[in-house]
Amino acid sequence: MGLYRKMLKAKSRIYDNFLTNPKVVKICTILALFVWFFALIAGYIVAQFDPDGYNIVNNYISDMGSFNHTPLPYFLDYGAMITAILIIPANFYMEKTIAPSPINKGDGEFPRMMYRLSGCGAYHMFMGIFGFFMIGLFSEDRSTPLGLHWIFSHVVFFGLIMGTFFYGLLILFYKTEIPRLLGLYMVVVPFITGIIFIATYVPFWEWMMLFTLMIWMVPVNAFLVKNMGKE
């Protein structure tokens, strides 16, 4: 029993005092957005110096992390890994705040489905975050004979799109501080772009998947950061 209580205290210190601490979440979220946008923009600019050129119509996102398509692929590789680590607290925080646990809700009946949707959203987002880190670790040039880069590129988009879908359902059907119109977007648009990409495997639609995910992630994370000062 003593060990169990110690484990609970350790969990509380890590989760409450660090992973969902508003100051930690705020700093990590701002850094994650800065690192990812810098990596994406700088990597795209540098890729233009490749003799074959680089554009979103003919090149996959992962091509930006290969010496076959850019003279300096490290922007995408390290940018993906660093961003994946930095965004972890934001996902924990979003799960905690967008649908508080029914156990901790003391002002009347609280829909358990809202809590379940939040959990499903967080689970799949963590899957996407894990895949995001791994595509940087196993870039196109380090894919290994197992094709790890190809595998994890599917993991990242599947996880992020499904996480977006579940969070979108929660926002659409339950009252939150996030506009329901954005919830509708999260349910429909990224999911459709994912299906189109699977059906075509055209580089342009992979970029569209990325952009449709960023369209909700950036404002929602900015909203969370803005409202942390109210706590």
Can you give the pLDDT of all 231 residues of the chain as single tens digits? 455 455 556 556 777 677 888 888 999 999 999 999 999 999 999 999 988 889 999 999 999 999 999 998 999 999 999 999 999 999 999 888 886 555 444 444 557 788 889 999 999 999 999 999 999 999 999 988 889 999 999 999 999 999 999 999 999 998 888 889 999 999 999 999 999 999 999 999 999 999 999 999 988 888 877 776 555
Q: Residue 209's pLDDT is what?
A: 96
Q: Distance (Å, rounded) from C-alpha 178 to C-alpha 91? A: 15
Q: Residue 192's pLDDT is what?
A: 97
Q: Residue 104's pLDDT is what?
A: 46
Tokens of 182: 């954005």
At residue 161, φ and ψ (nearest 5 deg) are: -70, -45
Q: Residue 4's pLDDT is what?
A: 47
Whether this model's pTM surpasses 0.75: yes
Q: Residue 111's pLDDT is what?
A: 73
Query: What's the DSSP call for residue 174?
Result: S
Tokens of 34: 């800065």
Q: Residue 17's pLDDT is what?
A: 74
Of 2, 57, 50, 96, nearest in space to 202 by CA: 57
Cα 37 versus chain centre, distance: 13
Helices 148-173 and 112-137 sit at what angle, rounded to 10 degrees? 160
Long-range CB pairs of 209-212 (<8 Å, 24+ gap) are: 209/157, 209/161, 210/61
What DSSP string describes 87-154? THHHHHHHHHHHS--TTT--SS---HHHHHHHHHHHHHHHHHHHHHHHHHHS-GGG-TTTTHHHHHHH
Tokens of 104: 């901790």
